[in-house]
Chain A
């Protein structure tokens, strides 16, 4: 990873430099403010008219100057205060608890819907968080483990969702076969997509995947006959438990969950059930990734991220490794898409834009590229934080962005940047080795 870039706000900078920096920032802000703030178009009777209001220009300069100065002065004390946070390691005893962390977390998450404060809203939020965890777990394979940047992951999400939507509405499949179909379709699509981009790396790969993401969305938007275009697809089948539905009234020839179990009907049951199956599947996905990392295929993913030439000299076929990384990641993206479709009962192309890809990538990067625990924490952060900040209405994305910047300043390698070795040694103390932060 890149060496830490000496920050211009580093502690060693004398006050004069900070002042100069702030003056420069202020001047730049003023220059930018002339077109952005100083000139306005106003709709008068004669049509659009440009009005100059240059009073804003010095104001913007002053605000940026002060902000830059304060930020510069605060950076050192802030970094100092955060230093213990950046180098924090779990205590030695915690290592022994590690294998229990996953199962305990799953149990705690499974208990969530039955806690007193768990209303529809909480369960729904939990479901959203789980969908993102599943998505990011998939993307983490391609980006975090295999090191293949993908800016169009929402395409796989979309293909999973639409496969689920179309197989249940057009072919009248149940949820479960549709789920399998969604995962497989997405995976198959990934194999096809990965073939032309095998030779690309880094920036070029990022641009091409970005293009694929958009193409997928635009094809869905315009293929009216199949996908309903901008109107989307509705009436998607809901998950069933051994063919029991969670409706108030049983469909013809079927039974409902409340009829068979004798538990009084409640609309929340369906939400809880969906939450629990997503939880189970996400846990299974996380477990699978952890297992795969210890198998030759998972090790090859990581080795490919490190050095492609060395991989070849050891007899590892980079093509196979890349294709399998894309396919496995997309499988999880496709499954997440199915859950998304089944939860909403409705899908439309809007849900799968670039923002979606960016959000999923942000979770992976924030989580520390390759860390499963990091993905979970980052997904909760990204899903839950904007909800908590709902009261701030317009400022909520601002607060969110600020929080992301702060995290990246304090933990440039992501929240959990230490890569866990895949092998435990009984004699040696395994230590998660963090990136030079």
Chain B
């Protein structure tokens, strides 16, 4: 393959009068973890949602495996090999853990189901214990694990994660980040990670983008940004966690 796995060039997106993305350029290469940090309302979630076709970009190009994603209806984006763990998890609360995972495998070959299920239970053993439980009754951390597992069930080439650490205790955050790292290291999963938790995200990521008011204001390797004065001042006040 010639180009990067995912490439956004000059992408604009709006919600009615709100111009949420203003010409964003982001590249994600095969096998990378790329993180996107920025203040509340910077447009991070919008960026992930735009990749998934809702809202549609008003300008610019989105290429995935050299194929344009612009104009593909949202439910067909997943068929391209992109799995999204949306902001706020969005598990199916009244359905059981196992049913949630089955729904995650909607696009996958049923022959893989048992194997993929075992993989998810291997990553998050607690889910196996909870598999007959209604997903809405899981703890926040367990729900996040379920949301990630559900996305993995479709065997994606790329995972989009929107604030997986949201509202979780430090211990659980560490576990989630370990799994993200493990997915990348052992299985070469390409990951685009949106995070408020800039310290963890930058430590983990190969490369990072800082988004402000719908624009990329800074980019570099995770390590560089971690050392950057501006980033430290804006997103890492209080130093290391």
Contacts and interface: CB of A to CB of B under 8 A. Distances in A.
B74 to A, nearest CB: 4
A315 B54 contact: no
Contacts of B134: 419, 433
A300 interface: yes
Contact of B103 (A1, A314, A425): A314
A315 B92 contact: no
A269 interface: no
A425 B90 contact: no
A296 B107 CA distance: 10
Name, among B74, B79, B132, the residue most crowded by chain A CB atoms within 10 Å (CB to CB): B132
A423 B103 CA distance: 13
Contacts of B106: 296, 300, 314-316
Given A431-B132, A433-B134, A313 B95 contact: no
Nearest to B108: A315
Given A315-B75, A315-B79, A423 B52 contact: no
B126 to A, nearest CB: 14
Interface in B81-101: 83-84, 86, 90-96, 98-99
B74 A428 contact: no
B90 A423 contact: no
Q: Counting chain B CB atoms within 10 Å of each CB, which of A306, A313, A314, A431 scores highest?
A: A313
Contacts of A316: 75, 103, 106
Given A428-B132, A433-B134, A299 B54 contact: no
A394 interface: no
Contacts of B221: none
B230 interface: no
A153 to B, nearest CB: 23
Nearest to A313: B84
Interface in A298-312: 299-300, 302-303, 305-307, 309-312
B90 A315 contact: no
Interface in A186-244: none
A309 B93 contact: no
A103 B52 CA distance: 46
A318 B106 CA distance: 13
Given A296-B106, A425-B132, A318 B92 contact: no
B154 A423 contact: no
A266 to B, nearest CB: 49
Nearest to B130: A428
A413 B108 CA distance: 35
Given A302-B94, A303-B92, A423 B99 contact: yes
| A300, A312, A314, A433 interface centre (most CB from chain B within 10 Å) | A314
A267 interface: no
B150 A314 contact: yes
A317 B86 contact: no
A307 B92 contact: yes
A88 B157 CA distance: 47
Contacts of B78: 312-315
B178 interface: no
B149 to A, nearest CB: 12
B96 A421 contact: yes
A49 to B, nearest CB: 58
A305 B94 CA distance: 10
Given A312-B54, A313-B74, A313-B78, A423 B84 contact: no
A141 to B, nearest CB: 16
A422 interface: yes
A423 B98 contact: yes
Given A315-B75, A315-B76, A315-B79, A306 B86 contact: no
A431 B154 CA distance: 28
22 contacts: A296-B106, A299-B95, A299-B102, A300-B103, A302-B92, A303-B103, A307-B92, A309-B54, A309-B90, A310-B86, A310-B90, A313-B84, A313-B90, A315-B76, A315-B78, A315-B106, A317-B75, A421-B95, A421-B99, A423-B132, A428-B131, A428-B132
The 7 closest A-B pairs by CB, nearest first: A315-B78, A306-B92, A310-B90, A315-B107, A428-B132, A312-B74, A313-B84
